[in-house]
Amino acid sequence: MITRVFFGARRSDLTTEACLAHWRGTHAAIGARLPGVRAYVQNHGVLSDGRFLLPYPGFDIMPELDWDDLGAMDVAIDSPIHERDSIDDEANFIDTARTGYAVTTRAARGRSAERRCEADHPPAAGPECLLARP
């Protein structure tokens, strides 16, 4: 399993809530349509009075997308859904000059990775699983 983790800072003219609302709605629907994606998880920082509870980490969004292997990830990243829809939509809510990503393999310890998507993790307190395919 290959996991691509993306980091993006919100546009300076948007509140944190407005950025996250767009990410949870419009952009999440695009991410879930990427070819071959096995899971799409949004990690939401905990907010207090519209600000992150902990010191600002330099980014507002951090999704994780899983594919079976690098080849499947490359097909998705080169697809029109990513090249056209996802990248074009990013300008609607993030500062596209302040992004980064990592390609990783996941080594879950203790709780299994699948358990992260269970209903006992509300979106405000933990990852929000938007797609999980067997």
Where do the structural domains in the chain lie, given as residue ranges?
2-132
- Best CATH choice for the domain 2-132 from the list 1.10.10.350, 3.40.50.1100, 3.20.20.70, 3.30.70.100: 3.30.70.100
Q: What is the pLDDT of residues 35-94, one digit of tens each?
A: 999 999 998 888 788 778 887 788 889 999 999 999 999 999 999 999 999 999 999 999
Where residue 6 falls among pLDDT bands split at 50, 70, 90?
Answer: very high
CB count, 10 Å around CB of 101? Answer: 14
Give me the pLDDT at residue 62, please. 92
pLDDT range class, residue 115, cuts 50, 70, 90: low
Region at 104 (left for phi over 0; alpha for psi -120 to 50; beta for the rest): beta
Q: What is the pTM of this model?
A: 0.76
Query: 3-state class of 75 per DSSP?
Result: helix
The per-residue pLDDT for range 22-35, each reduced to its tens digit, is 999 999 999 989 99
Q: What do you get for the CA distance between the two ends of the chain, in Å?
A: 12
pLDDT at 25: 92
